[in-house]
Amino acid sequence: MTVLGETGETKGWVFNIQRYSTHDGPGIRTVVFLKGCPLHCFWCQNPESRSVKPVLMFKKDRCTRCGRCIAACPHQANSMVEGEVRIERSRCALCGACVAACLAGARDIQGKIMTVQEIMDVVAKDMAIYDNSGGGITLSGGDCEMQPGFSVALLRAAHEEGINTAVEITGAFAWQTVKMITDHADYVLFDLKVMDEERHKKGTGVSNALILENARNLVGEKKAILFRTPLIPGFNDSVEDIRAIARFVKYELGLNPAEHVRLLAYNNLGEEKYARMDYQGERPSYQRQSDAYIKELNESLAAV
Ligand code: SF4
Ligand code: SF4
């Protein structure tokens, strides 16, 4: 979603800006996390990024049960039930009054409107670091393709300052949108989850047909590209799954899988966020793959 401000300045929804990243493209980078994602991966470690709208996070373990949020809320969305604070989210207007009232830091709202200039003011702080490391700005999310006009405006602004640009995308959009954004990116990080279409649908909520088509198109555009596969135990981390990805990259895209595919070991660092959003569903509980197994998968990738 792109919003034009009163001055004609382009604005968009952002939930985090992380400086000094070394995992999101070449060199040392500033990563801008945009709200909204077209996929609903069951393992998602950034659930606060899924909706373009902001989300109220509640850290129960920090709550002192002082009741200030109950008094502060103009919409009566908070109450004390059996000594615990409850949020009735359907009443919450995301006004932020309870966040300001909470002295324990138990509440925050993930997601705010920012202008291109506000973001560039942060990004420009590390110009010397980008120059020395070959880094720059990376748009991530969520998926920056959800806010295409804003993403293009940001990438253009970075290029105007001579800053290298990268995007992390799902590729689950019409080619016109993917091209519009990646035309302004020096480097593309592209998620490839699993080759089997039915499993892709089950795990992410969408087919991978369009994603694979966009991967072919991007390679045809001679984009510098790295495919990334988050390894989810029992879902896509078998040797055969990795070989299938390697075969696609090697034989359909004409690229060396060992150079152009990065396997990402499972992590569950975002698990507590589900509780902070009052998520009611079941959550899978997995262990990270062993280093020896990751090595074996990387060897399978290289052996195709
Ligand atoms: S963000 Fe505003 S509406 Fe929502 S619970 Fe807090 S005070 Fe109430
Ligand atoms: S204001 Fe903060 S600490 Fe106090 S009850 Fe509300 S969430 Fe808990």
Centroid of ligand 1 to alpha carbon of 25 (angstroms): 37
Higher pLDDT, 283 or 211: 211
**Tens of pLDDT, residues 188-232:** 999 999 999 999 999 999 999 999 999 999 999 999 999 999 999
**Tens of pLDDT, residues 168-182:** 999 999 999 999 999
Long-range contacts made by residues 231-236, C-beta under 8 angstroms, separation at least 24? 231/263, 231/264, 231/265, 231/266, 231/289, 231/294, 231/297, 232/43, 232/203, 232/266, 232/286, 233/266, 233/286, 233/287, 233/289, 234/286, 235/43, 235/194, 235/199, 235/203, 236/193, 236/194, 236/199, 236/203
Nearest residue to 167 (alpha-carbon basis) of 7, 3, 26, 268:
26
Q: Is the CB of 95 under 6 A from ligand 1?
A: yes
pLDDT score recorded for residue 262: 98
Residues with CB under 6 A from ligand 2: 63-69, 85, 101-102, 104, 106-107
* Ligand 2: residue whose CA is nearest its atom 4: 66
- Does residue 243 surpass a pLDDT of 90? yes
pLDDT score recorded for residue 19: 98
- Does residue 6 surpass a pLDDT of 90? no
Q: Is the CB of 179 under 6 A from ligand 1?
A: no
Higher pLDDT, 138 or 284: 138
Which position has the token pair 């373990």? Answer: 61
Centroid of ligand 1 to alpha carbon of 40 (angstroms): 26
Q: Is the CB of 96 under 6 A from ligand 1?
A: yes
* Ligand 2: residue whose CA is nearest its atom 6: 69
Which residues share a beta bridge with 141? Answer: none
- Does residue 8 surpass a pLDDT of 80? no
Pocket mutation for ligand 2, best pick of 56, 59, 63 (most atoms within 8 Å of C-beta): 63
Pocket mutation for ligand 1, best pick of 53, 98, 108, 112 (most atoms within 8 Å of C-beta): 98
Q: What is the mean pLDDT of the chain?
A: 95
Centroid of ligand 2 to alpha carbon of 75 (angstroms): 16
pLDDT score recorded for residue 7: 43
The mean pLDDT of 128-152, rounded to a whole number, is 96
Q: In order of start, what are the domains of the chain with their CATH numbers?
A: 3-52+112-303 (3.20.20.70), 55-110 (3.30.70.20)
The mean pLDDT of 47-69, rounded to a whole number, is 96
**Tens of pLDDT, residues 80-102:** 999 999 999 999 999 999 999 99
Q: Give the rounded percent of residues in the chain with a pLDDT score beyond 90.
A: 92
- Does residue 263 surpass a pLDDT of 90? yes
* Ligand 1: residue whose CA is nearest its atom 8: 73
Q: Is the CB of 78 under 6 A from ligand 1?
A: yes
* Ligand 2: residue whose CA is nearest its atom 2: 102
CB count within 10 Å of CB 244 equals: 17
Q: Are 10 and 4 within 8 A, CB to CB?
A: yes
pLDDT score recorded for residue 9: 54
Q: How many whole angstroms separate alpha carbon 249 and alpha carbon 186?
A: 20
Minimum mean pLDDT among 55-69, 121-135, 271-285: which range?
271-285
